[in-house]
Structure 1
Amino acid sequence: MKKFSKILMSGLAALCLWACSDEANVSRPADAENDVYVEFGVQLMQGSGSRSETTDGENGGSNSTGGAEVGKNYENSVKEILLVLTKADGSPIVSQHLDVEPKEDGKYPSLVTTLDRSALEAYKKGEIYVYAFCNPTSTIDINDLTHSTHKLSGKPKLLTDNDEIWKKDAFLMSNHNLVKVANSTPNTVWKWEQYTETNRLSLGIISVERACARFDFKENCYPAGEASNTYVLESDKGVKVQLTDMVMVNISKSFYYLRRVSENGLADNIELCGQETPNNYVVDTDAGNKNGNVGETYKKDYFFNNFLSNSREEWENEFTSISSLTEEDNDDSWNAGHNRNAYKIWRYATENTIPAPNSNQKNGISTGVIFKGKLQFDKSTYGVTDNQPIYVYNNVLYGTWEKVKDAANAPNADESLKAAFDQIGATPASGADFGRAGFTVLKPNGSGDYEMYYCYWNRHNDNSDPNLMGPMEFAVVRNNVYKLTVNKINGYGHPTSSDPKDDPDPLDPNNPDERNDLYIEVTVEVRPWVVRINDIEF
């Protein structure tokens, strides 16, 4: 059985990005004397109600909670803000761009700007909502914020070199919740002439959240004492696997600028900037396409690195060497006891959620991580003298086909192995279906190494039932940090060969994300921008 165990760290500390008023942050249009003065604060959201509790784990495992993650300075920086005021129906009243100069302590002043009075005068009565887009892109449609989406112009970079929504010191952020100006009601009458430089209209504090999620990784081993990222598969024979590389698959190409939730994850009856709860779903831009037969929706139109859309080449050429990860997560606020050190930042990703029913959560559309592992074994023991294939049956490595034959014909041979061998025969025919007989076929790469794939589908909210998927159980949600570490590997992975006849359990985009014969046991506590620990077992 392949299994995941996840621990999520939580906390409610908020990183404030605002302070006292500072005239350096006053943005004045050309006709400032006759315009309307407003002031507001912006803070990066880092805490909210949880959707599930973490508890002490079984078998001595801990699912304890910790603090919230503040993030790197370059993940928190705000240099520009697009401020938009709208009517209750979402139609725009007025907007303004502000340039923001951060202070040395990393906190931002109370922001002051002037707004076009002529635009405001046209709106004399009713509710007003305010939105702040920090480090905005040029594609925000202020005329339809409810449906405004962004599509990545190309495959995103892992880190912050030059990506459009997680660019260093300029991460895209938007409202975490709806903000109503001055507790306005449908009957509020606005007298715009009263808001002057000495009597500014307060728009309130606008909590914002990053548009992306972050994935960190920590090297591990099993049992303790093994080399880094090395896991024992057969202790009596010294067979091990060392994880060497990882790649993310099914990365969404599009996302909404403002988070939306609904009862079923579809676009009907959405709540704009609504909070995720145990009974709702975060709505994705392609929710309708994900509702139903995954065979129609796992095409590369919807994702970068799509899992088996046309061929594996789309993601097989995108692996990151685990040894290349260097930037440590050194935020102590979530790791006060320093018992979870050594996480390194791997990459950022866009939001990817799947609507109800929960059976829609399948490999072809869920964001996942494919780990590549190199088999370590004594080749001479298993009859390997050249670049021959080797064979695994029932989680036991037998070696070359000659070694399989010897084991199957031994006096006390396992009956199941003998029956499987007889299906293939002593001299396998060309195109023999080893997978159907139950054999995993591992073939050497150009360097003579035997490699395998291990698949992890990112778990967002655990329902603690390995036999039943819950709402939003497998997803990537904006403004979360997913911290991954592989605790244990219980068996051999998938062959790197694309031939399904080499695998008794071939990679299939229609496989459900949760399979009790394969993976995954995870516990999780969810809060916006929390430290989320995913401890993985295969």
Structure 2
Amino acid sequence: MNLFRKFFFGTATLALLAGCSDDISNAGQNNGSTGNEDGPSVYLGVNFQMPGMGSTRSFTDGDNTSNNGTEVGTDVENNVNEVLLVLARRDYGFIGAASVMRDNIYKHQAQQPNAGSYHATAKFNKTELSQYYSDAANFNKEICVFVIANPTGGMVDRLATAAYGDTEWINTPWTVSVEGNQTEGAIWSSTNGGNFLMTNSQIAVREIPQQMSAWDSYTSEDKCFNLSEINGVAGALGTIDNSAANASRGPVKVERATARFDFRDGSPANTDANTYPVVYIQNPDGSQGAKLIDIKLNKMALVNMGKTFYYLKRVSNNGLNDGWNAAGSTNGWALCGAEKPWYTLQTDGSLDHNRPGNYIVDYFAQQKNAGISENFSTYFNYAFFDNDGTLNNGNFNTADQRWYVSEISDVLSNGNPDNWDNNGNKGTYKVWRYLTENVAPGIENQVNGISTAVVFKGKMLASNDLKTDLTNLTEGTAEYRNAKYLNDLINAVNSKDASLGDSYKAPILYSYAGSLYCTWQNVYDAAVSASFSYTTGPDGKIIPDWNRTNSLYKAAFGNGLTGYKLVDSDGKVIYNDGDEKDLDQNSANYCWQMWNQANKPNNGEILAKYKKAVTDAGFTIYQRSEDNREGWGYYCYYYYWNRHNDNGKNGIMGPMEFAVVRNNVYKLAVTHIARLGHPRISQNDPDSPKPDTPDESSDIYFTVDAEVVPWTVRVNDIVFE
């Protein structure tokens, strides 16, 4: 049954040639082809090799700067239900295509030269080939062979209307749409034993007969022309060797069009699961004291997953689609080219332009190069920013979960263990999810609005061991004051009491220069204590000594006085550091006082002015909120921009350092958290990301170990049932 003008579908017309390769299982069976549908036909066989088979280095093709290792794919990831075989001229002009269903796809036996690869035989209409042989200007006995495993409708539909010589088919994209958190069935699926889209990892050039008349020897089911093995040609034309023994021929190498994120618990051995010590008490001598605050990571969310990608990978020297050179020269882009590493000079660490690398070309490369500042949902699934460029960490809790959100405990308990051959030195990762390619052209375009990231949500946990019984201390003393600050903080952080009210009425936490304060009053008191001392003169009057250049003083009070009042034991004011007119009315303290006096409204100009003044001064504001699983508490957020080729230089970005590239497994483990993360509300964050914020910064919040390894397949046979 001929469903499409340019190629056939269905097992009735896609017969395996039993005699084409003597190491194919089920040889000799007839699959229902009559051999005369739509006129005379010829049969071509092709072997294709699964991703990374036989490789022990972490690259798909060619050399790159990833870490070594091997990853054994699961049966679901390696299964092939259908193969779309495409023949093209050397300029990639379309010749013809045929579809082979899984009943006609077989694995070579272990004892054969092509062990581990798969064989498919497809039937082509003789008329299609004759057009190529009649095209004297373009005919070449070497053609390009493309194998697309488990194709989606995008390429199938495109080739159904392709005319001979069409070169636009290589630009076919595929857009992955999501419905809620579901992307199954797009380019990966566990249905039918597994259904992962795979395409050529490199251009496969194969030789065909020089004359059309030679095809008369390949028109029956018991004999086919093989694009991956040796062929005997009738007459005096000798043989055509497409086997692996002939240069880079043999099986056509394919790679998955997806990437994969794996995750493991990388927290210290002496802590609870996914829990990290972050804030410590500072001893009087400046040394680190007892642990005060842990962060327990409880959720992780995928953001900025690429929405549209090219079926066939392409590379260029700058990541752009400027021009095309079929021979793959340094100008323009090359189809199915290998990713090349970027080298640096030993002298100063700058790029070595005598050994230039290249970039994977993204479908939206031109737009990304121009700068994306809005309408992010056009380019990404699970967009990090709203379409107007604002950020809302609340996507962790919204009903629609615009980000792809997972409970970390679920990932680690329910996820499938990986099959990474890592000599047991890294721990067991769990497969989290699959995702699509996302790459930025050039170094400067690796920014938060473009790159794929994982957002981690963590809850603050305070150590109750540091609480002090205040009844044993004298009120008004520094010891009492410090103990009360600590008690207030611990009680607030650990309270699960919903009756404390909304996040504006409950105690607000303020972080500054590594210290954490509960309520603004404690910030005020600490700033005064750090900068004020006094003596009493002979007349009994206070002689003040202020250090108004102290960093905490400047952050709280700006360029004005404090309004601080010193009282004696009877409550009488004995010293006053200025009245309202002496205060800096743009300072954090003044704006907080105005908001407090207005009864702390949760919206409006007064609130906005207070938050801007406080964050401009360098304070991070943490407000209490409720998590749908962890309950009430104080939460913070960490943004990990996925690294593809880490140059090992913190604060300095290199080419292709932040990206997601097909057929790579990215193994993630949070191994250290250095400080409290970003607050839930962007207005509360002095360091809130913007769409043009560079992915790499000298500010290190936490550390993620990332291993980039190849996806390889098991030796086990795949059984089609």
When the two structures are superposed, what TM-score results if normalisation uses the length of structure 1?
A: 0.84
Paired residue for 1:213, among 248, 259, 264?
259
**Number of the residue aligned with 1:229:** 274
**Number of the residue aligned with 1:341:** 427
Paired residue for 2:173, among 129, 140, 149?
149
State the SS of the aligned residue for 1:75.
helix
- Structure 1 residue 145 displacement after superposition: 3.0
Paired residue for 1:449, among 628, 633, 638?
633
- Matched residue type, 2:663: N
Aligned: 1:40 with 2:62: no
Paired residue for 2:589, among 409, 412, 425?
425
- Matched residue type, 1:39: G
State the SS of the aligned residue for 2:300.
strand
Between 421-430 and 253-262, report the one with greater CA deviation.
421-430
Residues 369 and 330 (structure 1), Cα distance of their counterparts in 2 relative to 1, 3 Å cut: closer
**Number of the residue aligned with 1:439:** 619
**Number of the residue aligned with 2:699:** 517
Between 138-147 and 263-272, report the one with greater CA deviation.
138-147
Residues 338 and 313 (structure 1), Cα distance of their counterparts in 2 relative to 1, 3 Å cut: closer
State the SS of the aligned residue for 2:373.
helix
Does structure 1 conserve the Cα–Cα contact (< 8 Å) formed by 2:555 and 2:588?
yes
Q: Summarize the alignment of residues 183-222 of structure 1 with structure 2, pairs less than 5 Å apart.
A: 188-190=210-212, 191-196=214-219, 197-204=221-228, 205-222=251-268
Q: Percent identity?
A: 36
- 2:529, 2:34 → 1: CA distance? 89
Structure number having the greater helix percentage: 2
Structure 1 vs Structure 2 CA RMSD: 3.0
- Matched residue type, 2:682: S
- Structure 1 residue 182 displacement after superposition: 2.0
- 1:490, 1:73 → 2: CA distance? 39
Does structure 2 conserve the Cα–Cα contact (< 8 Å) formed by 1:246 and 1:372?
yes
Q: Summarize the alignment of residues 75-90 of structure 1 with structure 2, pairs less than 5 Å apart.
A: 75-90=77-92
State how many pairs are aligned. 492
- Structure 1 residue 85 displacement after superposition: 0.9
- Structure 1 residue 528 displacement after superposition: 4.8
- Structure 1 residue 505 displacement after superposition: 0.8
- 2:509, 2:702 → 1: CA distance? 28
- 1:304, 1:212 → 2: CA distance? 14
- Matched residue type, 1:513: D
Residues 324 and 25 (structure 1), Cα distance of their counterparts in 2 relative to 1, 3 Å cut: farther
**Number of the residue aligned with 2:516:** 397
Does structure 2 conserve the Cα–Cα contact (< 8 Å) formed by 1:464 and 1:523?
no
- Matched residue type, 1:512: P
State the SS of the aligned residue for 2:652.
coil
**Number of the residue aligned with 1:463:** 647
Does structure 2 conserve the Cα–Cα contact (< 8 Å) formed by 1:368 and 1:455?
yes
Aligned: 1:51 with 2:53: no
Residues 158 and 216 (structure 1), Cα distance of their counterparts in 2 relative to 1, 3 Å cut: farther
- Matched residue type, 2:24: C
Q: Summarize the alignment of residues 79-478 of structure 1 with structure 2, pairs less than 5 Å apart.
A: 79-101=81-103, 109-124=118-133, 125-126=139-140, 127-140=142-155, 141-142=158-159, 143=162, 144-155=168-179, 157=181, 162-168=184-190, 169-182=194-207, 188-190=210-212, 191-196=214-219, 197-204=221-228, 205-222=251-268, 224-235=269-280, 236-268=290-322, 269-278=332-341, 279-295=357-373, 299-310=376-387, 311=390, 312=392, 315-316=395-396, 317=401, 318=403, 319-325=405-411, 326-328=413-415, 330-332=417-419, 334-335=421-422, 337-356=423-442, 358-377=443-462, 380-382=487-489, 384=492, 386=500, 387-410=506-529, 415-422=550-557, 423-425=587-589, 427-430=592-595, 431=607, 432=610, 433=612, 434-446=614-626, 447-478=631-662
Paired residue for 1:20, among 5, 11, 24?
24
Give CA deviations for 1:17-56 in whole Å, capped at 9, x if unaligned: x9635446968465169421211112112144331265xx
Q: Which runs of 5+ in 1 are unaligned?
A: 1-17, 55-64, 532-538
State the SS of the aligned residue for 1:364.
coil
Does structure 1 conserve the Cα–Cα contact (< 8 Å) formed by 2:437 and 2:662?
yes
Residues 83 and 365 (structure 1), Cα distance of their counterparts in 2 relative to 1, 3 Å cut: same
Does structure 1 conserve the Cα–Cα contact (< 8 Å) formed by 2:673 and 2:703?
no
- 2:433, 2:26 → 1: CA distance? 35
State the SS of the aligned residue for 1:300.
helix
Between 245-254 and 430-439, report the one with greater CA deviation.
430-439
Residues 21 and 130 (structure 1), Cα distance of their counterparts in 2 relative to 1, 3 Å cut: farther
Aligned: 1:504 with 2:690: no
Give CA deviations for 1:413-469 in whole Å, capped at 9, x if unaligned: 792122212232275333212111111111111342100110010000112222321
Does structure 2 conserve the Cα–Cα contact (< 8 Å) formed by 1:51 and 1:527?
no
State the SS of the aligned residue for 2:154.
coil
Between 189-198 and 326-335, report the one with greater CA deviation.
326-335
- Structure 1 residue 153 displacement after superposition: 3.2
Give CA deviations for 1:511-536 in whole Å, capped at 9, x if unaligned: 101112336888988665379xxxxx
- 1:90, 1:441 → 2: CA distance? 57
**Number of the residue aligned with 2:564:** none
Between 419-428 and 440-449, report the one with greater CA deviation.
419-428
Give CA deviations for 1:168-193 in whole Å, capped at 9, x if unaligned: 10111111111112278xxx444322
- 2:380, 2:519 → 1: CA distance? 39
Does structure 1 conserve the Cα–Cα contact (< 8 Å) formed by 2:50 and 2:712?
no
Does structure 2 conserve the Cα–Cα contact (< 8 Å) formed by 1:233 and 1:240?
yes
- 1:26, 1:261 → 2: CA distance? 40
- Structure 1 residue 146 displacement after superposition: 1.6
- Structure 1 residue 411 displacement after superposition: 5.3
- 1:193, 1:331 → 2: CA distance? 49
Residues 528 and 91 (structure 1), Cα distance of their counterparts in 2 relative to 1, 3 Å cut: farther
- 1:36, 1:251 → 2: CA distance? 42
- 2:676, 2:204 → 1: CA distance? 52
Between 18-27 and 229-238, report the one with greater CA deviation.
18-27
- Matched residue type, 2:203: L
Residues 130 and 262 (structure 1), Cα distance of their counterparts in 2 relative to 1, 3 Å cut: same
Larger radius of gyration: 2
- 2:522, 2:415 → 1: CA distance? 45
- 1:468, 1:27 → 2: CA distance? 61
- 2:180, 2:664 → 1: CA distance? 18
- Structure 1 residue 100 displacement after superposition: 1.4
Does structure 1 conserve the Cα–Cα contact (< 8 Å) formed by 2:24 and 2:106?
no
- 1:314, 1:83 → 2: CA distance? 46
- 1:476, 1:29 → 2: CA distance? 46
Give CA deviations for 1:347-395 in whole Å, capped at 9, x if unaligned: 1111000112x11110000011110000112584426384221111112
Residues 227 and 519 (structure 1), Cα distance of their counterparts in 2 relative to 1, 3 Å cut: closer
* Higher normalized contact order (CA 8 Å, seq sep 6+, divided by chain length): 1
- 1:520, 1:242 → 2: CA distance? 13
- Structure 1 residue 219 displacement after superposition: 1.1
State the SS of the aligned residue for 1:448.
strand
